[in-house]
Every structure is written in structure tokens, then in C-alpha cells.
Amino acid sequence: MIKRITVPDIVKMKGITPVSVVTAYDFTQARIADECGIDIILVGDSLGMVFQGNPDTLSVNMVQMIYHTSIVSKAAQKALIVSDIPFSSSKVSKEKICENAVALMEQGKCAAVKIEGAGGIVTEAISQLTSLGIPVMGHVGLTPQSFHAFGGFRKQGTTAQTADLIVSQARELERAGVFSIVIESVPDDLGDRITKSVAVPTIGIGAGPRCDGQVLVINDLLGMDERFTPSFVRKYADLSSVIRKALTDYNSDVKNHQFP
């Protein structure tokens, strides 16, 4: 019997073992990530960009999140499954955030939810959820659901004032009970400072090597899209070329009566 990684297991990893996190949106990706020993599979609302081909994550809705989360949860036997609360659910009211967190866990079968940002209804919702036993992963720095307010997908915390604000947000999320915090696209030193300021594991994406763990979008890591790669991504494969060659060869074989 395979033992599933739990939220307390992840919390205990801080300062001991780096936490590996990758996104996944379908059965095959999730099954392979799980079999490769990834600790957390995140059903990120990045699916709006890399799966649906949209320019941002704002149009992802709860029906889609539940659909993808239920497929990923079915595929993974060991990894902890975390699912994103999408834009349309997380910016309206504390009640809506809580209702949708429950729906993601009930119908998507994930073990935890991730919520972007801090302050106001976000922190209130996180406090309520965690006090009810629903594990929440926080997300600070470049929170893509707020990209319009940031003026684009820009590195955050580059001034002393904004760096202090992000550290205080991370501390606020910790007080609200999150079990870990994603830190996205901030200077390496700020990633380090936040990691030292909170007792829960930090998971960096473009936040330097001193976070407690790292997360990458699976399509970026596998080199699925040759058109754009964020600067902080390491491509572990060039699947775009592999797939192109296979499909070109297949096409040519069919046209030339070489297959079957």
C-alpha cells in the first residue's frame, strides 16, 4: 500500500528536505509526476494559459478547476494534491472563497487549496478555512491573478518598501494558518528573507535557491512550448521538438504509404 504524503509531512520538511512541486492538469502528467516521486502536484490555474491557450489565468472557472483536479487526484497515489482557487471565486467574498474551497475538496478530491494574495477577505477566508481543518497554501510576490494591478507579469518586491510588504503578507498568511507559501518572481534575497521569516515551508518559483522547495509549471519544465520560456525556468526536456519530429514522421509515413 502506497503511503500518501500529507500536509503535516510537508510542514516537517522545512529546513530538512527540499519540497518538489510541479503542476499537472491531466491524468498522464499526474500519474508520471507521482511515479517520479514529486511531493506535491499543483492543479494550478496556470492551466488557463498552458492548457487552454489564454493570455492569462483570469477566465479559469470553478467547473474547469474541479474537472482537472478530479482527474489529477484520480491519477496520483502518493503526492499531495493542491488545487487553485480561481480568480472569479477568490475576489468576491470570504463566503465565496470558502464555498469554493469546500467544493474543490469535495468534488475534486484534492487535499488542500491554494489562494493567491493576502489581506482583507483573503486572509479572513484563510483563517476560517484553516480553523475548520481545510489546509491552505498561500501565494505571495507575483500573484498572476493581480497582473493588471502590477502592470504585467513583473518581478515583485524590488524596492525596500514592496519587499517589506511581501514579508509582512507572508507573516500574515502564516498567522492565518497556511501550511506553506508559494513565493513567485521576487529577488533571490527576498525569497531567502521570507523563508527565514516564517516557520512554514516556502515554495519558490523565480524566487531563488534558498526557498524550502521549488515549483515549476510542467509545460515549461518539459519544454512543451518553444515560443516563450520564463527566465527562471530550467528546461529538463525539449518535448516540443520530440513531438514535432514524431508527428512530422507520422504524417510523412501516412502520405507515403509507409504506415501501416
Q: Give catalytic residues, as residue numbers.
A: 184
Among the listed residues 217, 219, 221, 223, the single contact to ligand KIV using CB under 6 A: 217
Write the burial class of residue 95 (CB in 10 Å: 0-12 exposed, 13-18 middle, 19+ buried).
exposed
Q: Smallest gap, in angstroms, from Cβ of residue 182 to ligand KIV?
A: 5
Helix, strand or coil, per DSSP, at residue 141: strand
Cα–Cα nearest to 235, from 247, 220, 225: 220
Q: Smallest gap, in angstroms, from Cβ of residue 181 to ligand KIV?
A: 11
- Comparison of 142 and 163: residue with beta carbon closer to ligand KIV: 142
- Comparison of 123 and 214: residue with beta carbon closer to ligand KIV: 214
- Comparison of 42 and 251: residue with beta carbon closer to ligand KIV: 42
Q: Does 215 bind ligand KIV (CB under 6 A)?
A: yes
Q: Smallest gap, in angstroms, from Cβ of residue 129 to ligand KIV?
A: 18
- Chain centroid to Cα 115, Å, comes to 10
Residue appearing with cell numbers 469535495: 106
> Contact 186/155 with Cβ under 8 angstroms?
yes
> Contact 113/84 with Cβ under 8 angstroms?
yes
Q: Does 39 bind ligand KIV (CB under 6 A)?
A: no
- Comparison of 13 and 42: residue with beta carbon closer to ligand KIV: 42
Residues from 154 through 183 that contact ligand KIV (CB under 6 A)? 182
Q: Determine the Cα–Cα distance for residues 32 and 259; give it in Å rounded to an integer.
A: 29
Q: Does 23 bind ligand KIV (CB under 6 A)?
A: yes
Among the listed residues 71, 183, 205, 221, the single contact to ligand KIV using CB under 6 A: 205
Q: Does 220 bind ligand KIV (CB under 6 A)?
A: no
C-alpha cell at 208: 531563488
Q: Does 84 bind ligand KIV (CB under 6 A)?
A: yes
Q: Using CB under 6 A, count the residues that bind ligand KIV.
A: 11
Q: Determine the Cα–Cα distance for residues 79 and 33; give it in Å rounded to an integer.
A: 8
Q: Determine the Cα–Cα distance for residues 176 and 179; give it in Å rounded to an integer.
A: 10
> Contact 113/104 with Cβ under 8 angstroms?
yes
- Comparison of 84 and 172: residue with beta carbon closer to ligand KIV: 84
- H helices present in the chain, as ranges: 7-12, 27-35, 47-50, 62-75, 87-90, 94-108, 120-131, 147-150, 160-176, 188-197, 218-221, 239-255
Q: Determine the Cα–Cα distance for residues 206 and 9; give it in Å rounded to an integer.
A: 24
Q: Smallest gap, in angstroms, from Cβ of residue 37 to ligand KIV?
A: 19
Q: Which stretch binds ligand KIV (CB under 6 A): 7-15, 42-50, 62-70, 251-259?
A: 42-50
Binding site for ligand KIV (CB under 6 A): 23, 42, 44-46, 84, 182, 184, 205, 215, 217
